[in-house]
Structure 1
Amino acid sequence: MSDPLIREMDNYVVLVPGESEQFLDKEQTLLWLQSWLNKFDSLPLDLDCKSSIAEAAQHLLDTACDLEIKTGFTIQWYAVRLEAPGR
């Protein structure tokens, strides 16, 4: 079970193998997850019951921090707190 404080976070670092890390806000992270989910021919079983890709992406954001796209290729996302410089 994920920590409820994570749901209060507005920023995420997203990691894709072979690419530089990206910092995204919550809406951008949901869209990023949706774009990955759209690449599946069929969603993983735990997401297949969701009524839409958007709902599946929200479920992932609330309950997980990684998704195996194919064997040996896993994307990851983590809630982060960004602070203004000088704080």
Structure 2
Amino acid sequence: MADSIMYQEDCYVILEPDRPEQFLSEAELLEKLKDILQQQEELPRDLQKFNSLEEQAQHLLETSCEFNVSPSQYLQWYVTRLEKR
């Protein structure tokens, strides 16, 4: 049986071209995703079925770890757990 700690999330590390990595909480990442989605002229087909920006961002967060903003821009995110020792 898997240890339940595997499913606990502290934060996300965010990777973008030409920028240092960032650590964001889930709420902060959702806001970032909403901002990016709001600026898109055309959304991927799997996001078009959702009526609200909140639902689109939540679906993206739960089912992906990368979003292509433009041909040369992308956003990647990975869950990470930060521990102080």
Give the alignment of 1:1-87 within 5 angstroms. Answer: 8-84=8-84, 87=85
Residue deviations 1:9-35 (CA, integer Å, cap 9, x gap): 131011111111110011001001111
TM-score (norm 1): 0.83
Which ranges of structure 2 fall in alignment gaps of 5 or more residues? 1-5
Which entry has the higher C-alpha Rg, 1 or 2? 2
Residue deviations 1:16-67 (CA, integer Å, cap 9, x gap): 1111111001100100111111110121111011111111110011110001
TM-score (norm 2): 0.85
Distance 2:74 2:18 in 1: 11
- Write out the 4+ residue segments of structure 1 that deviate beyond 6 Å after TM superposition: none
Question: Superposition RMSD on alpha carbons, in Å?
Answer: 1.3
Paired residues, what number? 80
Identity %: 40
